[in-house]
Structure 1
Amino acid sequence: MLRPEVQDKYLVGTTPPISFLPYLVFASFLVSLTGTFTTVELLHRRASGIGWRPWADIAICSVTFGLVAVWCMHFVGNRAIILGDGELEIQLYYDETYAVLSAILPIIPIFIGLSVAIRFHELGRRAIVRYGSLAVCGLCTGGAATMMHFLGNIGIEICSMSANWANVVGSAAIAVVICSVGFGLFFYWGKLWMNNIWRRIFVSITLAVGICGMHWTAATGTWYQIQSYHDGEEADQNVNLIVAYCLLTISCIACVILGFIKQRQRKEEKSRAQQAVLAIATFDPSGKLLVNKTGLMPCQTIIQHFNQGAFDDELDPSHPVFQWIFRVTRNWTGISDLIPSMRENLQLVGYLEATSSGNKRRNSLHESDDATSSATFRKLFCVTADEMATALDIGLEKLGCLYEDVLTTGTMTNNRGTWTGTHTTKTTPDVNMTVNDLESGRVEPVVFGKGQMLILSRKIDASEAHRLQQLGYSFAEIEQVSHNIARSLQIPCGDLEDLIIRLHAFSERQYSVPKRGTYLASFLVQPRPGMKSMDVVVPRANAGRLPMVKLDDDQLDSHQLKVLSTFHGLTLDRCLARIKASSETNTKVSAFMRKFGSQIEALLRECPEEALHFAIFSAQQLDMVNGQTDFSQAKVFAFCGIKEIYVQSLQSFSLKAIPFSFFKTYLRSQTGCADHAVLVQRNYDEFGCLQRAQSDAETSSSSLSSKWPWSLRKEKSLSSERSWNEEANSVDNLVNHRLHTRTLTAASGHSMWGRVVMTSMEDIKSPKSKSNFKVEMHSMKKAKSNMADQENQTLADLLMMITTAFRGSLMSRLPTSVEPRTKHSFA
């Protein structure tokens, strides 16, 4: 009820004194900070790309900023304003219509400002466009906050408001400038992937300071003239305050939920470092790496818990599964039609769940799945690659080629090498290792490894890069994202930077086969410790070819071939000595011999290995691409040698050793190679029956269920048996390939060295069960019956047979000590 003494004390038209409640002033800042922090976190986690979801996320951010950070702060702050001595009849009360309008209308310019900043700052190519978009964002958000303040004050019922224009202009300037700075820092740091939690808190504080600064700058320059008196309940003064606290509570709950989401993401990153993962390394024309909003490479789990014991051997470049994937990624069209049936089969046998997300639906391979794990893993890889191609909105054939090594994740080490396994401590020397490390053969071992990552690498043009940016991806310098990626993979940052450099170089490789010419090559094989396999020395920059130099621009004539035949069976040093001591009178022959000598020296510079001096020259002229003279007419002569088993290091940073079987995989993966068609046919023989098998299983299930109540158990048994048979056949195919390789090699000799060469191929493990024994016996029969369908011998196969034929001379000429060499000069 209206009291007469209040009317006498505060006449209509008078201006009562103003005071402020300090605790509510501070509370208003906390309210604004909660709103800005919620907005910044939602912006950080917003969806990108095309569709309704990105716009919905921007709308939610606009609501939290306009409704919580500005509107709630305004009414909590105004509740701190006390007119007179606090009499209820003359305090600030608000009209509901203006209160609602002041909550809704500012959201529109905030939405416009954020949309402009997201669209033009993240995708803009010119600096003026990016910085202009940030200015528009600051103008819209700061202007919206100022508009809300004065629109809300217009709704005051019992007082008329008067404001100092200097305070009005100053408050608007504060809001616009500080909002421009705050959102500018957010988008700038986000583009550089430095947008960590502390930086986002700083942005939130900056925005809250701007909003509160605007509010209190305007409030201190405002006075109120009494026009009437409030004749109602005391609770009317706190209506807007209660609404503000309700919205604040919702915002706090949202912050808690976002915190849980962040913890879950970190947990997923840690678990992903312990899984088998497929990643995409895409580089734009300037060499920047494609990353998502969080600064990570696009990746997806192949299988959650990778059990190395499920395979016969370690998954590395020497493993048939890795080599199969390596070849398939260079001819995606040969497998793309089979992926739908692979997905259905994996769902049928329980490795995929149709209703689950990609990263959550893969079970683990167990050691008991020895006969089927190979096929299952390959099918999971193909399905994962297809899903990633869909996410990137590209065709599977444009996804990229498999990198030549396996990255082990979840490791903690200071070495500068790339570890290629999970159960051993072997390391492939990296270009950053010192000479002493290489000479001593010592590399710091990896302490532990938990996961493995297969990486597809490719390079795209500017138009494709712009299309991916429109989908919400970005391209970053290595230094900008290396820490984020290394932390997620749990590997040293230096190792990751070295890997990305190698991935970029890998994506730029040109796998071209010479069409014409005659070449002189070095074929050096190196037995691994234990004589279980063989490595081949290849250039580090291009592991798909041997170290070689051009001997002639065209094929050699009969006279030149006759000259080379005189060097057959001689070591490289003896060839140089004979050329130097030659007294040939024929001018053409003499010139050719000098050219031959100079190219031998060039080959030594290309491959400066001690073993090459004792390598034996083969005058047998080989095709660069064996059996495909229509594709390439280039010819090769080679020096064939064997490195000492106890000298595993190489003398040059430009060389490296790769498994012999993997080198053959490289040769079979060359563009235009006829073996692509053979692999496609094998894949159709292996996986083409999956969909038919599923249809048969469904038919059998329906017929049984109509008659017998125990048909469910029968259905499970039938589908499991079919799945085992299909996947066992897939193991047959890989085994057949290895049997064929061993047969070719064994034909070249039966001595000790011949047996060493045979063991260099992928040996078949001893059967652990009767089922495995049946699989291998069936494979041997199948290998004999399908010899006509086998792939052609590669250049590596022919050179290995030549090396085996020279085995006696090579073993007797291996050096026992390093002697100084006499330099020969052929002008």
Structure 2
Amino acid sequence: MERPVLLPGDIAHQEIQAQYVALSYAVSYIGSVTTLELLHRRTGSRGWYNWSLLVGSAISMGSIAIWGMHFIGNRAIILDYGVDSHQLMYNSSFTALSFFLPIIVLLSAYMFIGTNEDVSKTRVSIGGTTAGLAVVLMHYLGQFGISNYTSVYKIAFVVGSVIIALAASNVALLIFFVSRAQWAGTFWKRICCGFVLAGAVSGMHWLATVGTSYRLRNAELPKSTLDRKQTVIVVGSLCVFTCTCLLAYAAILGAKTRQMISKVRKVTISAVVFDPEGRLMVTTSGSLPTEVITDTLNSLLDQEFTKEHPVFLWFYRVSHSWAGVKDFVSGMQQHLRTTDIKKLGAEDQSALNLLFREMLCVAAKKLSEQLRQPLEQLGFLYDEILHTNIGPRRQILAPIEGSDVEKLRKVTNGKGQTLFVYRQVTKEDVARLQSHGYRFASPKVTIEVVARSLQLNKDELMEHLRSMRESTLAESILEPGIHIGCFAARANIEGGFDVLVQNLQPNLIPCVQLPVRSLNDDTKAVMQSLQGLSMTNVLRALEIKLAACSANQRPFLEDMRVTVLALRKAYPDTFWLDSIFSSTPVYMPCRTANVEVEQSTAQMFLFRIVVPIHQRELSDGIRIAPFDFFNAQQRTFSTSRDHEVLARQIHSEFSGFTERNLRSPKPALLSQKLRGILWPLSKRPTTAERTLVDNPFANIMISQAVDVHSAKTSLDVHELDTLQVAGAAVVVREVEEPTWAEEYFHLLMSKPRSP
């Protein structure tokens, strides 16, 4: 049977090839998944990172998922029984316009939706509706660009195609953004959303195609036309490029996942950053910014790394005064590069501890660079070390001989440890961090992803995050005035001593402030009369004094009695009743607006007691803390002068590394003999200059800003060896005085503990 001749004005016979239908859906799906992945990676509305993702998502959706799908789909339409000259041809101008129009519309839609973690259904609906309209506009603009046929539409199919585009786009974007905000938007969920979004484009296209007929035109074809083979080549090239990018991205993502798993088997440091609303900063994959400190901890330490370890105590203090170490990190880094740890034995533990301190500082510096902020703004070190859940459980070893020190190095083998530095940032910092690719979300919705990435228990990590958040709100420090407190020490079955501290403010002992600003001679006499009495007897003595006192004495006696009762009520442990009162005040740091004020201390009168080692149950208001760590905390208050002391100690210990690095010769391009000929004699260094270059100690080192008026400062002057040069180096070193906790602990251990 011969085919009828197609004349201008006739409706062409139409067939559909199934393989191109499937191919068009695949093209749309690739573009949709790419779009959702790029939108998932957005963290804010500022910065080239977020803008590149925004533009990329609009291009992938507009050019591939919509435009590419349309022209691949139209390739499935066979007109006039397959006559080559009667197949669809396109006007190049309208084809180009149909390419850019959906990209522009989608760009505005995604900008309107935004990146907030709190999903606005109204904004998502408006954005989804705009995206659906972009699909419809591109389709009919592309149809309008057909050069050799006029499209004839059925109204019912046009309306139906619009409804499908709008409904499916809204559903896909709503599911995507809700799952993203709940941090349930794993990759497989984005794949499912991609099916729905691609269905919106394909469903709209094919319903409209079924309701479209093509009438052959009379006019001649314009010169600038594209046939269907050319359009397939263009679309195919775009899809191949997109698939390549997706595969590369998947490989990078897999590598990052493996890298994170590898990290948690090592000793790492992670940044915990909160915004003013308490939201937690995470990467787009839901993990905390993390840097590796070392994977050779067992070859560095001869004891388990805990919060009582001297290196941890040192690093804890450094984190409260980063300015003292920032200038020496580069020297530390160079020293680590040039040191072979394997050559250091167990007898070189002081050298190993120094290397580990350098590793901590270098990792902190790398973490600050990862966040693109100065080291001084990195935050404070958290007072707990968390162990990852992977690897075998920690071994319990029996006592071993000194010759078996290497066995002790395996205490933490196979188990990672994580340190945290925490801080709260301003709204300006939040915007800056978002522009660098970080997101802020509620810890409740991100905790599962964060805990999984760190291999930590979710509930345990949540408690630590809550503690860090509370610590960022205000410094835990005494208010100026008179305080009544309790100092209790208890022997630790593993060695050393613990102290009892406040549960919510673990750097403070249990105490209550007395509503008196200062003491006069009469009130001091009252305090002296209570010397050596137990808490029970103090309350009884105050009651007796109240019954026989004058009107002038009554207010202070009543305040003192109420304060002791408040202390007893806040910490209802029975052993406090036997604690002994000391009438000698202890001076402690307190909150003040001016750190230069000499009287920036609070007076505290203490009840003291040694708690029996078998006393295990404590009230909710207190907990135990290692004495060494608690003592280190007393040097980290913002008003403490010990920050200056630590800075001078760091300078004395590490400045040599920095100086040697600055003096380290660079590879010479010319031989020494040739440089001697070319270099003018006038520019050659003198003997004295060579001495200064060759010897780092051939100068006078003087510590800066030494306060000779401070009662807490003592200066020792040491004369160093000449180190093969004629001269001496004088080092002025500031020595730290014992803290109040050290002095009172020794007093508690040395004096009788009964009246």
Matches within 5 A, 1:113-128: 113-117=109-113, 121-122=114-115
Answering whether residue 268 of structure 2 is matched by residue 289 of structure 1, we say no
Matches within 5 A, 1:542-581: 542-551=505-514, 553-576=516-539
> Post-superposition shift, 1:661?
1.4
Give 1:319's aligned residue: 309
CA distance in 1, matches of 2:374, 2:488: 40
**Given residue 253 of structure 2, which amino acid in structure 1 is its aligned partner?**
K
Give 1:18's aligned residue: 14
Q: Deviations for 1:71-91, whole angstroms, at most 9, x for unmatched residues?
A: 332233223223354454533
Going from structure 1 to structure 2, the CA distance change for 1:20 and 1:327 (only over 3 Å counts) comes to same
Give 2:486's aligned residue: 522
> Post-superposition shift, 1:50?
4.8
- TM-score normalised by length of structure 1: 0.73
Going from structure 1 to structure 2, the CA distance change for 1:673 and 1:598 (only over 3 Å counts) comes to same
Answering whether residue 734 of structure 2 is matched by residue 796 of structure 1, we say no
Give 1:541's aligned residue: 504
Give 2:359's aligned residue: 380
Answering whether residue 478 of structure 2 is matched by residue 513 of structure 1, we say yes
Give 1:680's aligned residue: 647
Matches within 5 A, 1:159-308: 159-227=149-217, 238-297=229-288, 299-308=289-298
Give 1:360's aligned residue: none
**Given residue 611 of structure 2, which amino acid in structure 1 is its aligned partner?**
K
| Aligned match for 1:481, one of 446, 450, 454 | 446
| Aligned match for 1:34, one of 25, 30, 33 | 30
Q: Deviations for 1:325-379, whole angstroms, at most 9, x for unmatched residues?
A: 222222233333333444454455599xxxxxxxxxxx99997974434333333
> Post-superposition shift, 1:581?
7.0
> Post-superposition shift, 1:528?
0.8
Answering whether residue 625 of structure 2 is matched by residue 634 of structure 1, we say no
Q: Deviations for 1:678-726, whole angstroms, at most 9, x for unmatched residues?
A: 1111111122222211133327x76997489xxxxxxxxxxxxxxxx99
CA distance in 2, matches of 1:552, 1:147: 74
CA distance in 1, matches of 2:597, 2:750: 25
Give 2:381's aligned residue: 402
Unaligned regions of 5+ residues in structure 1, if any? 352-362, 414-420, 426-445, 709-724, 727-784, 814-827
Give 1:504's aligned residue: 469
CA distance in 2, matches of 1:87, 1:365: 84
CA distance in 2, matches of 1:463, 1:54: 16
Contact 1:399 1:458 in 2 (8 A): yes
Paired positions, count: 680
Q: What secondary structure sits across from 2:584 in the alignment?
A: strand
> Post-superposition shift, 1:527?
1.0
Answering whether residue 135 of structure 2 is matched by residue 142 of structure 1, we say no
- TM-score normalised by length of structure 2: 0.79
Going from structure 1 to structure 2, the CA distance change for 1:57 and 1:564 (only over 3 Å counts) comes to closer
| Aligned match for 1:110, one of 106, 111, 134 | 106
**Given residue 740 of structure 2, which amino acid in structure 1 is its aligned partner?**
L
> Post-superposition shift, 1:490?
1.2
CA distance in 1, matches of 2:250, 2:511: 58
| Aligned match for 2:86, one of 67, 71, 90 | 90
Matches within 5 A, 1:57-72: 57-72=53-68
Give 1:775's aligned residue: none
Give 1:608's aligned residue: 572
Contact 1:193 1:294 in 2 (8 A): no
CA distance in 2, matches of 1:703, 1:78: 66
Contact 1:162 1:223 in 2 (8 A): yes
Q: Deviations for 1:218-272, whole angstroms, at most 9, x for unmatched residues?
A: 2122111234899xxxx97544335444443443333333332332232122122
CA distance in 1, matches of 2:641, 2:377: 21
Contact 1:36 1:64 in 2 (8 A): yes
CA distance in 1, matches of 2:344, 2:2: 86
CA distance in 2, matches of 1:447, 1:693: 35
Q: Deviations for 1:792-820, whole angstroms, at most 9, x for unmatched residues?
A: 222102211220222x546xx9xxxxxxx
Q: What secondary structure sits across from 1:619 in the alignment?
A: coil
> Post-superposition shift, 1:467?
4.8
Contact 1:522 1:607 in 2 (8 A): no
Contact 1:403 1:506 in 2 (8 A): no
Going from structure 1 to structure 2, the CA distance change for 1:581 and 1:786 (only over 3 Å counts) comes to farther
CA distance in 2, matches of 1:570, 1:697: 66
Q: What secondary structure sits across from 2:213 in the alignment?
A: strand
Give 2:416's aligned residue: 451
CA distance in 1, matches of 2:243, 2:669: 57
CA distance in 2, matches of 1:447, 1:370: 17
Provide the alpha-carbon RMSD of the alignment.
4.1
Contact 1:305 1:364 in 2 (8 A): no
Give 2:408's aligned residue: none
> Post-superposition shift, 1:210?
0.9
> Post-superposition shift, 1:302?
3.4
Q: What secondary structure sits across from 1:456 in the alignment?
A: strand
**Given residue 44 of structure 1, which amino acid in structure 2 is its aligned partner?**
H
CA distance in 1, matches of 2:2, 2:555: 124
Going from structure 1 to structure 2, the CA distance change for 1:533 and 1:65 (only over 3 Å counts) comes to same
Q: Deviations for 1:732-762, whole angstroms, at most 9, x for unmatched residues?
A: xxxxxxxxxxxxxxxxxxxxxxxxxxxxxxx
Q: What secondary structure sits across from 1:454 in the alignment?
A: strand
**Given residue 400 of structure 1, which amino acid in structure 2 is its aligned partner?**
G
Q: What secondary structure sits across from 1:698 in the alignment?
A: coil
Contact 1:400 1:456 in 2 (8 A): yes
Contact 1:161 1:225 in 2 (8 A): yes
Contact 2:587 2:602 in 1 (8 A): yes
Contact 2:394 2:412 in 1 (8 A): no
CA distance in 1, matches of 2:732, 2:579: 33
CA distance in 2, matches of 1:110, 1:608: 64
> Post-superposition shift, 1:522?
0.9
**Given residue 501 of structure 1, which amino acid in structure 2 is its aligned partner?**
R
> Post-superposition shift, 1:403?
1.7
Going from structure 1 to structure 2, the CA distance change for 1:296 and 1:97 (only over 3 Å counts) comes to same
Going from structure 1 to structure 2, the CA distance change for 1:565 and 1:52 (only over 3 Å counts) comes to closer
CA distance in 2, matches of 1:659, 1:555: 32
> Post-superposition shift, 1:477?
1.8
**Given residue 696 of structure 1, which amino acid in structure 2 is its aligned partner?**
R
Give 2:318's aligned residue: 328
Matches within 5 A, 1:667-706: 667-698=634-665, 706=672
Comparing 589-598 with 209-218, which one deviates more in the overlay? 589-598
Unaligned regions of 5+ residues in structure 2, if any? 398-410, 675-694, 697-729
Comparing 794-803 with 278-287, which one deviates more in the overlay? 278-287
Going from structure 1 to structure 2, the CA distance change for 1:147 and 1:594 (only over 3 Å counts) comes to closer
CA distance in 2, matches of 1:447, 1:308: 7
Going from structure 1 to structure 2, the CA distance change for 1:58 and 1:449 (only over 3 Å counts) comes to same
Matches within 5 A, 1:647-662: 647=615, 649-662=616-629
> Post-superposition shift, 1:488?
0.6
Going from structure 1 to structure 2, the CA distance change for 1:617 and 1:423 (only over 3 Å counts) comes to farther
Q: What secondary structure sits across from 2:185 in the alignment?
A: coil
Going from structure 1 to structure 2, the CA distance change for 1:275 and 1:598 (only over 3 Å counts) comes to same
Give 1:622's aligned residue: 586
CA distance in 2, matches of 1:148, 1:583: 90
Contact 2:71 2:231 in 1 (8 A): yes
Going from structure 1 to structure 2, the CA distance change for 1:240 and 1:550 (only over 3 Å counts) comes to closer
Give 1:645's aligned residue: 613
Q: What secondary structure sits across from 1:790 in the alignment?
A: strand
CA distance in 1, matches of 2:196, 2:650: 59
Give 1:712's aligned residue: none
Going from structure 1 to structure 2, the CA distance change for 1:705 and 1:342 (only over 3 Å counts) comes to farther
Same amino acid, percent of matched pairs: 27
Comparing 489-498 with 311-320, which one deviates more in the overlay? 311-320
